[in-house]
Amino acid sequence: TSSAFVGRGTERALLRQARDRAKASQPQASTFLIESAPGLGRTRLLSEFSFELRLSGVTVLEAESDADRAPHAVAQRYVWELLNTLHDEALTAARPYAATLAHLSPALRERLGVERLAEMPAAPGEARMRVQAALRDWFLDLARDQTLALIVDDFDAIDEASAAWLVGLAHSAREHKLL
């Protein structure tokens, strides 16, 4: 069992306000960054907030950074959590983007049932932008009808491609049910 969570009242109130705005009939997405030195409760705050979000009916997707800094490593963790959490709904919403999303991994290609990959430009930067746009649009499509929360601990340690995708998603999500 864990001990009672105390402190961080201001941060908890701000996070709850962001949740309420995202769940409103005219949603307003929120992005927030919680910074602190190691050992001051940032991870515990995120854990407690994730629990509260789940209790309030929000679909929570969590990813942790680690030594795997392969391109889109954290984004792929979110993808798998989304597919495992929302099952058929996530697969249905992925259909328009599946041939592009399948470039992320052979396992995802199989899960999405993609027989033929979308053609990609030779320029790596352009190919990456297409994958990120497909990821962004897929997540935004789902966040129109239900509240999604993407939580990452140690954002500064995630791979650059996932960080760029998350920033782009946050920028595009103004009127979506997204935290």
**Does residue 68 have a pLDDT over 70?**
no
Better-predicted residue by pLDDT, 10 or 125 = 125
62-66, 92-96, 113-117: segment of lowest average pLDDT: 62-66
Strands 148-153 and 59-64: parallel
C-alpha–C-alpha distance, residues 128 and 44, integer Å: 33
Please report where in the chains the tokens 């705005």 appear, as a residue: 21
Q: Taking the mean position of all CA atoms in its chain, how far away is CA 10?
A: 24
- The mean predicted confidence, pLDDT, of the chain is 86
Better-predicted residue by pLDDT, 39 or 165 = 165
pTM to 2 decimals? 0.86
State the pLDDT confidence band at 157, using cuts at 50, 70 and 90.
Answer: confident
Q: How far is CA 111 from CA 1, 9, 95, 117, 172, in A?
A: 36, 42, 11, 13, 27
8-22, 123-137, 164-178: segment of lowest average pLDDT: 8-22
113 Cβ neighbours under 8 A, 6+ residues apart = 98
